[in-house]
Amino acid sequence: MTHPSDALIASLVGNLQPVKPLSFARGLGYALAAAAFSAIAVVVLFGIRPDVLAGRFDPVFLIATGLFLVLGIASVVTVIVMSRPQIGSDHGGWVWAAAMAALLPVAGLIVSFGGGSDIVSRDSIAHGLECLMVGCGASLLVFAMLVGWLRKGAPTAPDRAGLLTGIAAGSLGIFAFSLHCADNDIVHIGLWHSGVVILVAGLGRTLVPRLVRW
Amino acid sequence: MRADEATLARLMVMSQKGDKQAYATLLTECQRWLTRYYGRRVAPAQLDDLVQETLMALHNKLATWDSSRPFLPWMAAIARYRWVDHLRRLYRAKECALVPDFAGQDDEPAIAARISIDRLLSMLPDAQARAIELVRIEGLSIAEASQATGQSESLVKVNIHRGLKKLAHMVEKA
């Protein structure tokens, strides 16, 4: 007995070509390579922080860049996992990293309300905008790589995949720029560096879903 | 006889390498599985189209299966995604203006869409289902729905919002 799908199956079989399965390790490798390239580009174009170059590490710098790095990696891992559809996959690991990184803007707000920092001076705003723009620029390569990976894959939650692409790219972008930005003020980091993550996350959530629907 | 997970996974590995005979067997088994899966979720008239759409999706996304992971959850995820897409299209189609009546107009798609939507609404509390039906399907205003149901306008809005959120969650987790 012929089934309505028989002709389609015959056509699909006729068109079959060998495929190279999307590998988690390969996806992660590409993303980390893009992040490393971005960091190197920042260092080459803008220079590395003098204190880091001298081997002195400020605690706020270590904690902030560490949090952004962990959030970036956790989000990248989640995006790579999401590119391969699977019932029962757990995509929740990045939430804890995001909650930890969210302490930065919260701490920044608390300190700024306590008058602990000047955030409204022209210099402060200009410096902050520079961090925002260059941080976003440093996130572009990782963003493009993840979008390309998702288009090859089959994300079953494009909206969330877009958001996480933005979070991953923004976090790794500002991590890269933190290697240059010598400001250790928690208000500056909480406002402007976290602002990169929030801005690129919003862009990802808005732009990526239509690019990766299938 | 139904193919088991191990057999399907082996067929998939061979298909990814370009083995057409294995792929034909695999697609036939997938078509049977998808027919059973969608048989409980869509109107009969839409079944064949949805099965074929999903087979094409499987074909286009062959590379997204990893042999270290089970095959059936992968196929189920693709099937569920296509099902949600199908429901979205049905729902949007109901909001378009209907052409004027003419002899021979086919009402079956609208009826089939209604069957699918009714099945979903039956999973909600009565107040939420009624609010969604009156406002989003029959096109009443909030004020009219409030009069019809006896709920306040705020409650109608809350019931619609919660009901749609619950439906989206049920469909995502199905």
Q: pLDDT per residue over A89-129, tens digit each?
A: 666 778 888 888 898 999 888 888 877 666 667 778 888 99
How many CB atoms neighbour CB A144 within 10 A? 13
Which residues on A lie below 8 Å from B17 (Cβ)? 18
Residue in chain A closest to B55 (alpha carbons) equals A9
**Confidence (pTM):** 0.78
**Rounded average pLDDT per 10-residue block, chain B, 174 residues:** 84 95 95 93 89 95 93 94 89 61 57 68 84 80 85 86 77 59
What is the structure's pLDDT at B78? 95
What is the structure's pLDDT at B171? 65
Beta carbons of B48 and A5 less than 8 Å apart: yes
Query: How many CA atoms are closer than 13 Å to the CA of B16, on its beta-carbon side?
Result: 17
Let me know the angle formed at the C-alpha of B41 by B38 and B43, rounded to the nearest 5 degrees: 90
What is the structure's pLDDT at A212? 94
What is the structure's pLDDT at B174? 53
C-alpha–C-alpha distance, residues A126 and A111, integer Å:
20
pLDDT per position as a tens digit, A19-57:
999 999 999 999 999 999 999 999 999 999 988 888 888
Q: What is the DSSP string of A7-64?
A: HHHHHHHHT-----PPPHHHHHHHHHHHHHHHHHHHHHHH---HHHHTT---HHHHHH
Q: How far apart, in Å, do the first and last CA atoms of chain B sit?
A: 26
pLDDT per position as a tens digit, A171-195:
999 999 999 998 999 999 999 999 9
Identify the CA nearest to A181 among candidates A166, A164, A202, A196: A196
Residue in chain A closest to B80 (alpha carbons) equals A156
Which residues on A lie below 8 Å from B60 (Cβ)? 214
Residue B80 sits at the chain A interface (C-beta within 8 Å): yes
B121's tokens: 């609404």
What is the structure's pLDDT at B167? 78
Residue for token pair 């400001």: A183
Tell me how far CA of residue A198 lies from CA of A12, A39, A140, A173, A201, in angstroms.
43, 19, 14, 12, 5
A174's tokens: 């500002």
Which residues on A lie below 8 Å from B81 (Cβ)? 85, 154, 156
* Chain A nearest CA to B114, separation (Å): 24
Which one of A2, A6, A20, A86 makes the best mutation probe of the B interface by having the most chain B beta carbons within 10 Å? A86
